[in-house]
Amino acid sequence: MARLLRIFVFACVVVLPCAVLVTEIVLYSQNSLYLNDRWIVQKRMMEMGVMGADEFLLTRTLLAQNLLNLGSYHGYQEVIYRQPVTLGQIEFRFQVEDGSYLDMTYNRDGAGYSGLRLSRREDMPSILFQSTEKGRLRSKTLVPIQAIGPG
């Protein structure tokens, strides 16, 4: 009985933590949008290949530290979540470099979509907008926020 107890304690103290660690390493090594299969990378949907599109989809760089880096692989990435989501509220953290902007689109259907642009470009202010399905602006409203600082 004492031997069985020692084996059980050994398994709990040594084997179980090792199994958890190996599982985390394997899951982290497979952390990519391609293997995740919940996202559509728009650069991959274009008729002609675009530089960095394959790397963005297949590698782990853009999901480093479990953060989505849309600026990796030549920037200006567009990713779409495959499943419809009904949101009442959304909260996220982001960083926009000098001369860049972040567009978040929602309510996309065959008639167009709505969106929010948070910008650090002088010629492109932060706005709420409505667009056609082809991306032409139907309407826009300036977002009354202070200038977005670095970081």
Output the pLDDT for position 37: 76
* Separation CA 122–CA 79 (nearest Å): 25
Is the pTM higher than 0.95? The answer reads no
Ordered by start, the domain boundaries in the chain are: 84-151
Query: Which helix (H) or strand (E) is 69 found in, with range?
Result: none
Average pLDDT over residues 94-102: 83
Mean model confidence pLDDT for the chain: 80
Per the CB < 8 A criterion, the answer to whether 115 and 104 are in contact is yes
pLDDT of 99-126, one tens digit each? 888 888 888 888 999 999 988 888 888 9
Give strand pairing partners of 122: none
What is the percent of the chain with per-residue pLDDT over 90, rounded to a whole number? 11
* Separation CA 37–CA 123 (nearest Å): 36
